[in-house]
Amino acid sequence: MACFSLAWIEQLLVWVVVIVAVVAILKLLVPFVLGQLGGAGTIVARILEIALWAFVAILVIYFAFAVISCLISGGLPLLPHR
């Protein structure tokens, strides 16, 4: 699969939708579940939210370097073959 083919863009968009949906669900559920613990639950919820955004940032960095790799060498596509 070429780096910027339609199949590559399709897979990229599917992964973006999946990641955004998981982040949105976790942002709804984590405070609700941990809110039952009181003050300690809100602190844990904030820590998990920070960790979640750190994970999203890591995915963005991975994507940026994959695109740079495709532009420079035409090598390694971002996502594996189906």
Measured CA angle at 39 (ends 33, 45), to 5 deg:
45
Whether 10 contacts 47, CB under 8 Å: no
pLDDT tens-digit readout, 8-17: 778 888 888 9
Helix count (H) and strand count (E) of the chain? 2, 0
pTM of the model: 0.63
- pLDDT at position 77 is 55
d(C-alpha 76, C-alpha 50), whole Å:
30
pLDDT tens-digit readout, 20-51: 898 888 888 887 787 777 777 777 778 888 88
Q: Tell whether the model's pLDDT for residue 80 goes beyond 60.
A: no
Q: How many CA atoms, within 13 angstroms, populate the side-chain half-sphere of residue 11? A: 14
